[in-house]
């Protein structure tokens, strides 16, 4: 199949400008600067139907069109490379193998929304992706793709690299903005949405690395061509990061709607010898877990996964095998979300920590039956009651683990002492 995102992966020195240009790189930018208006660029991206790949799946072209152009304020682009969702490792490989594809997409986006500054926010723990991006940005400035009067068009774009300090919450768009502004990575209440009031109170578009990296292909080939991949409501291709005990884990680019079973059994080579598939978390740790038999029936697009009771999310597919204990996995997740809560909202700050303590108790064989109800009650008090979705990112695992694997939790409950 056509590879929209991964065509250069595996080429020698794929991260260098010379390799990118030799494969036709920056031709989309030249096409745009050669005579497409910002509105025409937005129309093409809208026509492609590409949806944000950071997790929420919001149509990119539509988001760009929300930017008000008459406020007199500067407009900013924020590129979200914070990628900290457990199970997700796709953006880092775009940055490692094809950083210029992202830079080209980001320049085109900035032109379309009329931003003159792009903030590239990268996860603090990323080392090779960071070094490759720094080098690629330097190359792009030197070649006249970034900076003043890009390709003689009169359009200027500055590109600032901002390294995070290791907080998961800085991947949430308004937390990222707070961090870019120099404050703590604390999310803000929406609305107003960043497209209207974002960084420094100015209109700001935030897009995920994978979303922006698709843009050069769309401009080169047209939105209609992109729509040929995928399904009606989930067009295009998507990177799926497969981890766990499969024979060939890694990142796979598939057309949306691709059967999960085919990806797992054919592309990934099936389970490693001696391991049986037990469950799958299809979209990063924040989405509901699916028992194996259900997961194997779904197609990988936003609608099909949702209809089966989970979410495609970031495409971080965590494969759980028969040796793994579900209460222990949920305890690890609760620990993660409790550690990463920014602490602004009481239900999240207290609820994630409380859920973690209850799960620890259960895993140590000291839980009671009432603790299972307590977990669900804590989840109920967190759901929808907070500034951002971090709290719900634990609610969904709690509910789905207890719905599908309650017997494993009950098996750890100590015998109740009769009154
Ligand atoms: C707790 C939390 C963490 C997030 N982390 C990331 C992240 O690391 N990278 C990302 O692109 N989006 C992340 N998001 C989603 C962003 O808020 C936002 O929806 C996304 O960057 C928008 O880009 P897109 O429309 O291209 O997907 C996170 C959301 C939440 C609630
Ligand atoms: S839900 Fe949690 S992480 Fe999000 S703003 Fe509230 S306390 Fe912070």
Mean pLDDT for the stretch of residues 188-201: 97
Q: Is any ligand 1 atom within 6 A of the Cβ of residue 352?
A: no
Q: What's the rounded Cα separation, in Å, for the pair 359 and 330?
A: 8
Atom of ligand 1 at shortest range from CA of 388: 31
Considering only CA atoms, which residue is closest to atom 13 of ligand 1?
171
Q: Using 50, 70 and 90 to split pLDDT, how confident is the model at 362?
A: very high
Domain boundary assignment for the chain: 17-227, 237-321, 326-410
Q: Is any ligand 2 atom within 6 A of the Cβ of residue 388?
A: yes
Structure tokens at 312: 């495609």
Residue 191, judged by CB atoms within 10 A of its CB (0-12, 13-18, 19+), counts as exposed
Considering only CA atoms, which residue is closest to atom 4 of ligand 2?
388
Considering only CA atoms, which residue is closest to atom 6 of ligand 2?
345
Mean of per-residue pLDDT scores for the chain: 97
Predicted confidence (pLDDT) per residue in 67-123, tens digit: 999 999 999 999 999 999 999 999 999 999 999 999 999 999 999 999 999 999 999
Mean pLDDT for the stretch of residues 306-328: 98
Q: Which pLDDT score is estimated for 1?
A: 66
What single DSSP character describes residue 342? Answer: -
CATH class in words for 326-410: mainly alpha
Considering only CA atoms, which residue is closest to atom 8 of ligand 2?
342
Q: Is any ligand 2 atom within 6 A of the Cβ of residue 391?
A: yes
Residue 269 confidence (pLDDT) above 60: yes
Mean pLDDT for the stretch of residues 298-327: 98
- Say which ligand is closest to the CA of 54: 1
Q: What's the rounded Cα separation, in Å, for the pair 194 and 174?
A: 7
Q: Using 50, 70 and 90 to split pLDDT, how confident is the model at 418?
A: low
Q: Is any ligand 2 atom within 6 A of the Cβ of residue 251?
A: no
Q: Which pLDDT score is estimated for 95?
A: 98
Atom of ligand 1 at shortest range from CA of 390: 1
Residue 277, judged by CB atoms within 10 A of its CB (0-12, 13-18, 19+), counts as buried
Q: What's the rounded Cα separation, in Å, for the pair 359 and 376?
A: 12
Residue 2 confidence (pLDDT) above 80: no
Mean pLDDT for the stretch of residues 193-210: 98
Q: What's the rounded Cα separation, in Å, for the pair 130 and 127?
A: 5
Q: Please report how the helices 346-363 and 326-340 are oriented relative to each other, as an axis angle in degrees rounded to 10.
A: 150
Task: Using the mean position of ligand 1's atoms as its centre, give its distance from the Cα of residue 208 in Å.
Answer: 7
Q: Is any ligand 1 atom within 6 A of the Cβ of residue 122?
A: no
Atom of ligand 2 at shortest range from CA of 352: 2
At residue 328, φ and ψ (nearest 5 deg) are -65, -40
Task: Using the mean position of ligand 1's atoms as its centre, give its distance from the Cα of residue 34 in Å.
Answer: 32
Q: What's the rounded Cα separation, in Å, for the pair 412 and 110?
A: 54
Predicted confidence (pLDDT) per residue in 220-232, tens digit: 999 999 999 999 9
- Pocket test of ligand 1: the residue of 171, 218, 352 to mutate, having most ligand atoms within 8 Å of its CB, is 171
Task: Using the mean position of ligand 2's atoms as its centre, give its distance from the Cα of residue 2 in Å.
Answer: 40
Q: What's the rounded Cα separation, in Å, for the pair 164 and 174?
A: 14
DSSP string, 179-236: HHTTS------SSSPTTTS-GGGS-EEEEEHHHHHTHHHHHHH-HHHHHTSB-SSSBS
CATH class in words for 237-321: alpha beta
Q: Count the alpha carbons within 13 Å of 343 in the hemisphere toward its beta carbon.
A: 4
Other C-beta atoms closer than 10 Å to the C-beta of 406 total 12
CATH entry 3.40.50.10860 includes domain 17-227: no
Residue 19's region, left for phi above 0, alpha for psi from -120 to 50, else beta, is: alpha
For residue 222, give Cα distances in angstroms to 11, 66, 72, 207.
25, 22, 32, 20
Mean pLDDT for the stretch of residues 339-365: 98
């Amino acid at each position: 199949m056509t590879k929209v995102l991964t065509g250069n992966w595996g080429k020698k020195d794929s991260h260098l400008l010379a390799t990118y240009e030799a494969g036709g790189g920056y031709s989309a930018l030249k096409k745009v600067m050669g005579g497409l208006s910002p509105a025409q660029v937005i129309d093409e991206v809208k026509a492609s139907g590409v949806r944000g790949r950071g997790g929420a799946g919001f149509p990119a072209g539509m988001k760009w069109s929300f930017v008000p152009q008459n406020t007199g304020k500067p407009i900013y682009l924020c590129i979200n490379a914070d990628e900290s969702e457990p199970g997700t490792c796709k953006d880092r490989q775009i940055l490692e193998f094809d950083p210029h594809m992202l830079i080209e997409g980001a320049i085109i986006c900035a032109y379309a929304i009329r931003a003159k500054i792009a903030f590239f926010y990268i996860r603090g723990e990323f080392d090779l992706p960071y070094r490759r991006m720094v080098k690629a940005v330097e190359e792009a400035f030197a070649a006249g793709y970034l900076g003043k009067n890009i390709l003689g068009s009169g359009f200027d774009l500055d590109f600032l690299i901002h390294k995070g300090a290791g907080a998961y919450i800085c991947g949430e768009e308004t937390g990222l903005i707070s961090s870019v502004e120099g404050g703590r990575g604390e999310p803000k209440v929406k609305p107003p949405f960043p497209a209207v009031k974002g960084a420094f109170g100015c209109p700001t578009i935030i897009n995920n690395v994978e979303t922006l990296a698709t843009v050069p292909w769309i401009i080169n080939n047209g939105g209609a061509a992109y729509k040929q991949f995928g399904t009606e409501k989930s067009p295009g291709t998507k990177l799926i990061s497969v981890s766990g005990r499969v024979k060939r884990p890694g990142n796979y680019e598939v057309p949306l709607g691709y059967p999960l079973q085919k990806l797992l059994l054919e592309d990934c080579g099936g389970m490693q010898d001696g391991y049986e598939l037990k469950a799958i978390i299809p979209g990063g740790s924040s989405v509901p877990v699916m028992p194996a038999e259900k997961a194997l029936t779904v197609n990988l697009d936003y609608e099909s996964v949702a209809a089966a009771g989970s979410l495609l999310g970031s495409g971080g597919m965590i494969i759980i095998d028969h040796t793994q204990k579900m209460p222990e996995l949920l305890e690890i997740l609760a620990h993660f979300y409790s550690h990463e809560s920014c602490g602004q909202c009481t239900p999240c700050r207290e609820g994630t920590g409380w859920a973690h303590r209850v799960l620890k108790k259960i895993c140590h064989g000291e839980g009671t039956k009432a603790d299972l109800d307590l977990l669900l009650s804590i989840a109920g008090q967190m759901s929808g009651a907070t500034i951002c979705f971090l709290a719900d990112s634990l609610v969904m695992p709690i509910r789905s683990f207890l719905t599908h694997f309650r017997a494993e939790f009950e098996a750890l409950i100590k015998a109740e002492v009769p009154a």
